[in-house]
Amino acid sequence: MVKICCIGAGYVGGPTMAVIALKCPAVEVVVVDISVARINAWNSDQLPIYEPGLDDVVKQCRGRNLFFSTDVEKHVCEANIIFVSVNTPTKTRGLGAGKAADLTYWESAARMIADVSKSDKIVVEKSTVPVKTAEAIEKILTHNSKGINYQILSNPEFLAEGTAIQDLFKPDRVLIGGRETPEGRKAVQALKDVYAQWVPEERILTTNLWSAELSKLAANAFLAQRISSVNAISALCEATGANITEVAYSVGKDSRIGPKFLNASVGFGGSCFQKDILNLVYICECNGLPEVANYWKQVIKINDYQKSRFVNRVVSSMFNTVSGKKIAVLGFAFKKDTGDTRETPAIDVCKGLLGDKATISIYDPQVTEDQIQRDLAMNKFDWDHPIHLQPLSPTAFTQVVVTWDAYEATKGAHGVCILTEWDEFKDLDFQKIYDSMHKPAFLFDGRNVVDVEKLRAIGFIVYAIGKPLDPWLKDMPAVA
């Protein structure tokens, strides 16, 4: 019987292993983590992450062939295939700080595998890692091998949060990189056999190790680049009277470009895009390719620009000050259908508004007050050009209120900022919101979810990313 152990029960490890367990009833899957709280949550009715469809999958196989445990060493020792899905954040200090991937967790997992293994193992890189990480891992494992044969595979994960289960059920592709040796090919085949239980053969791509590692970084860089491209054009739309929705639609109709991932927004967030591009930038620099590094850096710079442009627009529209004004923030997660706030643009926008002494009242259907307060209190590691140069005073955080209701958040507000595209925001009673607000009532749509004309008819002064400006905003100072 194939026994799989996954180290790391996070946003990737949890859903990915749950789907493998569901689709491969003959395989035993154990997900292990050093966080007792996280494992307890996976074993409870309140899973540690919100992901549509996940509850259902977990319920079907937990206790059958899917297990969650903190007994890391036991399950690593017993498995034939070990996925490593630990976090690989950006280094915040030392060599490569601000760009390079921090492989501390990865290395400690690899050393633990070497320590406890008593039989041959296939070790699968599920985490997103720099190119050539497999070589480093191989060295750690074989140096301590005690005669055990290890095969390292790269099997990067392409799921997006909010649609993880759907993405795992029907992936565009599954990518497996391995050594081009007989043992390497055998290991690739063993992993291919697992995915082949539900993924059509032509969607399972096999490559060499370095291509698989690099493809993941390149794919995220290309995706983020599309958003920065459309966001850059959104600024020009606002300056010229063009409409970004019309421009993006027209551009995306070209079959060589395609319609997806062209939604202008307040900026991209999430745990992957910025981290992985910075990682790519660092790899380019280390390989003597500064021009290539600068090219990709620009994708992040435009993202920072888009967030600060939004804050500036809010402040300048409201008579150049939001001091003492109540701003309601609708949506804090980095996208809809997740409670994840890692690198959410809402953090930078809220900090920008707090820097101008606003009082903010936040509502998000999935993010807890604790999480929001932690995110806002955390010092941001400024990778290059900090967008908010002045540190916030400790009293700034007392100006944050978190509510569990959009109407409560907007009551008595001077302005409303929509920062996540939750479906429920489209159906809000905006007349009721308008009636409860100070006048003039401003609405800043960072996700292009509202019907601008309808809201203007109610009386709101509306700003929407990349849309022709409200006459009110045209008279306000230019935003840079």
Binding residues for NAD(+): 8-13, 33, 38, 86-90, 127-128, 161, 272-275, 342
Give 190's Cβ-side CA count (13 Å radius).
Answer: 22
Contact indicator for 24, 194 with CB cutoff of 8 Å: yes
- CB nearer to ligand UDX: give 122 or 223: 223
Q: For residues 267-286, which are near ligand UDX according to CB under 6 A?
A: 268-270, 272-273
Provide, for the chain, the percentages of residues in helix, strand and coil under a 3-state DSSP scheme, each rounded to the nearest 5.
45, 15, 40
**Contact string (CB under 6 A) for ligand NAD, positions 35-64, x = contact:** x--x--------------------------
Q: How crowded is residue 203: how many other Cβ atoms within 10 Å of its Cβ?
A: 14
Q: How far is the CB of 444 from ligand UDX (least distance, A)?
A: 16
Q: Which is nearer to ligand UDX, 399 or 420 (CB)?
A: 420
Q: Quote the crossing angle between the two packed helices 244-252 and 209-240, to the nearest 10°.
A: 140
Build a one-symbol-per-residue string for 109-138: x at contacts with ligand UDX by CB under 6 A, - elsewhere.
Answer: ------------------------------
Cis amide leading into 48 (omega within 30): no
Report the run of H or E that residue 123 belongs to, with start and end.
Answer: strand 121-125
Minimal distance, residue 29 CB to ligand UDX, in Å: 20
Taking CB under 6 A as the rule, which mask of x and - marks residues 51-80 in contact with ligand UDX? ------------------------------
In the chain, the amino acid numbered 45 is: D
Nearer to ligand NAD, 7 or 346 (CB): 7
Q: Which of 403, 356, 347, 401 is nearest to 376 (CA)?
A: 347
Round the CA-based radius of gyration of the chain to a whole number and report it: 24
**Smallest distance, ligand NAD to C-beta of residue 293, A:** 20
> Quick check: 11 binds ligand NAD (CB under 6 A)?
yes
Binding mask 357-376 for ligand UDX (x = CB under 6 A): --------------------
| Spatial CB neighbours of 449, under 8 Å, sequence gap ≥ 6 | 418, 421, 425, 426
Minimum distance from residue 167 beta carbon to ligand UDX (Å): 8
Q: Name which of ligand NAD, ligand UDX, none residue 109 binds, using a CB cut-off of 5 to 8 Å depending on partner kind.
A: ligand NAD
- Residue 202's φ and ψ, nearest 5 degrees, are -70, -10
Binder of ligand UDX out of 154, 265, 274, 308 (CB under 6 A): 265
240: phi then psi, degrees, rounded to nearest 5: -115, -15
Residue in 5, 24, 237, 272 annotated catalytic: 272
Burial 65-98 (b: 16+ CB within 10 A, else e): bbbbbbebeebbbebebbbbbbbbebbeeeebee
Q: Which is nearer to ligand NAD, 7 or 311 (CB)?
A: 7
Size of the site for ligand NAD (CB under 6 A): 27
Minimum distance, C-beta of residue 426 to ligand UDX, in the bound complex (Å): 15
| Site map (CB under 6 A) of ligand UDX, residues 161-190, x = contact | x-----------------------------
In what order do the strands lie in the sheet containing 415-418? 400-403, 359-363, 326-330, 415-418, 442-445, 461-464
Stretch that binds ligand UDX, among 105-113, 159-167, 234-242, 466-474 (CB under 6 A): 159-167
- Residue corresponding to tokens 């009082």: 359
Q: Is 297 a residue that touches ligand NAD (CB under 6 A)?
A: no
Chain-centroid distance, C-alpha 79: 30
Check residue 333 for interaction with ligand NAD (CB under 6 A). no
Contact partner at residue 355 from ligand NAD, ligand UDX, none, CB < 5 to 8 Å by partner kind:
none
Site for ligand UDX in 332-351 (CB under 6 A): 334-335
Tell me if 159 contacts ligand UDX by CB under 6 A: yes
Task: Work out the number of other CB atoms within 10 angstroms of the CB of residue 153.
Answer: 25
For 403, the 3-state DSSP assignment is strand
Q: Which of 28, 54, 66, 88 binds ligand NAD (CB under 6 A)?
A: 88
Note whether 478 and 317 are within 8 A (CB).
no
Answer for which of 158, 169, 210, 295 binds ligand UDX (CB under 6 A) is 158
Q: What does DSSP say about strands 28-32 and 442-445: parallel, antiparallel, or unpaired?
A: unpaired
Beta-bridge partners for 462: 443
Residue 272 annotated among the catalytic residues of the structure: yes
Active site residues: 272
Applying CB under 6 A, which residues contact ligand UDX? 157-161, 220, 223, 227, 261-263, 265, 268-270, 272-273, 334-335
